[in-house]
Structure 1
Amino acid sequence: MQRWLVYMSALLIVLAVAYGAYKYANEAKGREVVVEIGDTVYVNYTGWLYDYRIYESARVFDTTYPDVVKDNKTYPKTVSFDFERRRGEPFKFKVGEGEVIKGWDKRIIGMKVGEKARWVIPPSEAYEPYLNELVVNISVYEHWQVIEKMEKYYFESKYGCDAEEGMHITHYFWGWNATVLGIENNDVLIQNVPEVGKEYMTKYGWKCVVLSINQSANGGDGDILIENNPVLGQKVSTRDVTNHFDNLKYIIDKQRKYQGGMVDGIVVGISDENITVDFNNEVYGKTLIFDVVVVNIEKS
């Protein structure tokens, strides 16, 4: 009888300890720190986007991991990826203060330290607006005069020196040889002397080929027929394009007003007649994917 009482007492003690541990575990779980509005959080992340016009699969446009930056095989990068930006520290932001895109502020709520998540964020909760007027067509074929007239101040801004008769220069935009014929009042006369069939690197950022030269065209000023040869997905200098085409000068103003600043364009299409360049910031108007892990939470 006494032995039975000992066994029962021991069993009750074990059950009491087990119940206490269970109760404590559940209470502790209820006390786990989760992200709330007003908290400051630290996260590591890798952001992906997909643009069917130039990529065969999703590409990384940003990350906090230095190893991801170095690994282009596992983590192929977008054209606009910033390889120069310093990385290695978690990204810090205050929840609900508009310091990040809406999709982040919304999805971070309730997460715990060490928790991982994959967020698929539509454009309405990411970066808008995407502006159709920032997608422009540049002709594959362009014409340029053999005898070119340029105002003196413009010559000085492009070549970094005063014009002198007989001086030899490399054309500021097309990259071929040219000679200053003379100076008339406020104008500089330049004779362009490209070679037919030769390839030149242009200020667009792509190469061109001179197809033909007609010295007698345009009333004796001549005509150079040029074929532009870009590569799909390559960057295009926004500054140089807007200087080259007066009707595209609005691009930089639109970028600064609606998308946070000037960015280079990207060749997104090439046809027999036109080169399509998208001057929208690459993340604008796209569904973005983020692989996120919460590193730390500072309660407000």
Structure 2
Amino acid sequence: MKKNTAIVLAVLLLLAFFLVSCEQPTEKITKPKQELKSEYGDLVKIDFVLSLENGTIVDTNKEDIAKKAGLTTYMKGPYQFILGQSGKVKGFDKAVLGLKVGETAERIIPPSEKELFIKINRTKMYSRFTQVRKYLGFKKEEFKKMFKKEPQINLTVYNETFPWKYKIVNITENYVIGKMNVKQGEIYTLPGFSWPSKVFKIGKNIVTFYQMPKQGQIINTSYGTAKINLTGSRIILRHEPELNKEIKKSIKLSPGFNIDQKFKIIKITDKDFTIKRVGILADKTLKLKVTLLDLIKNVKKVNVNESISLRLVPTKQ
């Protein structure tokens, strides 16, 4: 009897221990949530202010700041783009890398290009003889718009775009071929010149003109005025550039691709003058203040080549 009682008590104790153990709360182990950071290929939405070292604001999406800075062209509202394809100055996208949503950062973007200076000789020499192609091809549709006529062989046409008339000598499926209708000794003002030129020689494919500016003639150039001196076969042009004058000059970026850029005359000597490229941000040290408002991960695969080192904006002591 005592033995049976002991067994029952032992079972009851085990059961009670089991029930108590089941009632104890189980502690859950969770990993901390990792915050997402911006990477190339993400669709990001930002607020930003881009300024020069002296504090001059050059770009922003904030309307109040843009108006205060006197900007006339700017993006209104949050700027959204695929990181790596912002279309902004080189280094801009890299400055937005690694940000969390809601984070604000300041970065220094160093120049990606060197300042461009060009030295130009004040005295230029040109041949008084210049050549023009005798034949010119027009696309059929352009011909009809330009001359208001249907093309016909031996038809002579004129448009004020050209100093002379053209005589149609051939018509193909897509083009109308015109021949300059000029005679030796005739005088014309060639495109881009402000003085007369005489037809000197008519060759098989080329017409040669002899330029006839006046001795001592003053002409206007993009740099300022220039004075003409003449020899029998040469035109000698002496530039009188204007200090601080801003001009446009075509710069070759790659074979077959030129672009007009703005320059400023910064120095004049007796022999030459120097122009400096202005109006671009690529040769400036820039300060960017940016806040990441939102991002969507991995929207597009982007190949990026931004070999430029960014610096943090130094903290004021």
- In the superposition, the TM-score normalised over structure 1's length comes to 0.54
| Alignment coverage as a number of residue pairs | 220
Q: Look up the match of 1:270.
A: 267
Secondary structure of the structure 1 residue equivalent to 2:254: helix
Q: Give unmatched runs, 5+ long, in structure 1.
A: 1-29, 51-56, 77-82, 240-250
Amino acid at match of 1:269: I
Mapped contact 2:241–2:268 kept (Cα < 8 A): no
Q: Structure 2: how far apart are the matches of 1:207 and 1:108?
A: 47
Q: Structure 2: how far apart are the matches of 1:207 and 1:171?
A: 20
Does residue 99 (structure 1) correspond to residue 118 (structure 2)? The answer is no
> What do the CA deviations read for 1:85-144 (whole angstroms, capped 9, x no partner)?
77325332345xx3355564355533443x554421223xxx35x4x8x64322123233
Q: Structure 2: how far apart are the matches of 1:279 and 1:156?
A: 37
Task: Report the CA distance between 1:297 and its aligned residue.
Answer: 3.3
1:190 to 202, 207, 210: 210
Q: Look up the match of 1:10.
A: none
Does residue 139 (structure 1) correspond to residue 157 (structure 2)? The answer is no
Does residue 284 (structure 1) correspond to residue 282 (structure 2)? The answer is yes
CA gap of 1:170–1:149, structure 2 versus 1, over 3 A, is closer
> What do the CA deviations read for 1:65-92 (whole angstroms, capped 9, x no partner)?
5666666xx347xxxxxx7x77325332
Q: Look up the match of 1:40.
A: 43
1:209 to 203, 221, 226: 226
> Aligned ranges for residues 94-243 of structure 1 at < 5 Å?
94-95=82-83, 98-99=84-85, 101-102=90-91, 104-113=93-102, 116-123=104-111, 127=112, 130=114, 135-145=117-127, 147-152=128-133, 160=162, 162=164, 164-165=182-183, 166-169=186-189, 171-172=191-192, 175-185=193-203, 186-194=206-214, 196=216, 198-200=218-220, 202=221, 205-210=222-227, 212-214=228-230, 217=231, 220-232=232-244, 234-238=246-250
Q: Structure 2: how far apart are the matches of 1:284 and 1:45?
A: 18
Amino acid at match of 1:226: R
Higher strand share: 2
Higher helix share: 1
CA gap of 1:87–1:194, structure 2 versus 1, over 3 A, is farther
Q: Structure 2: how far apart are the matches of 1:168 and 1:58?
A: 54
Q: Structure 2: how far apart are the matches of 1:58 and 1:195?
A: 51
Amino acid at match of 2:226: V
Q: Structure 1: how far apart are the matches of 2:63 and 2:210?
A: 50
Q: Percent identity?
A: 14
Q: Structure 2: how far apart are the matches of 1:255 and 1:60?
A: 35
CA gap of 1:169–1:206, structure 2 versus 1, over 3 A, is same
Q: Look up the match of 1:253.
A: 254
Q: Look up the match of 1:64.
A: 61
CA gap of 1:44–1:169, structure 2 versus 1, over 3 A, is farther
Task: Report the CA distance between 1:213 and its aligned residue.
Answer: 2.2
Q: Structure 2: how far apart are the matches of 1:155 and 1:277?
A: 37
Secondary structure of the structure 2 residue equivalent to 1:252: strand
Secondary structure of the structure 2 residue equivalent to 1:105: helix
CA gap of 1:176–1:68, structure 2 versus 1, over 3 A, is farther
Task: Report the CA distance between 1:228 and its aligned residue.
Answer: 4.6
Q: Which has the larger radius of gyration?
A: 2
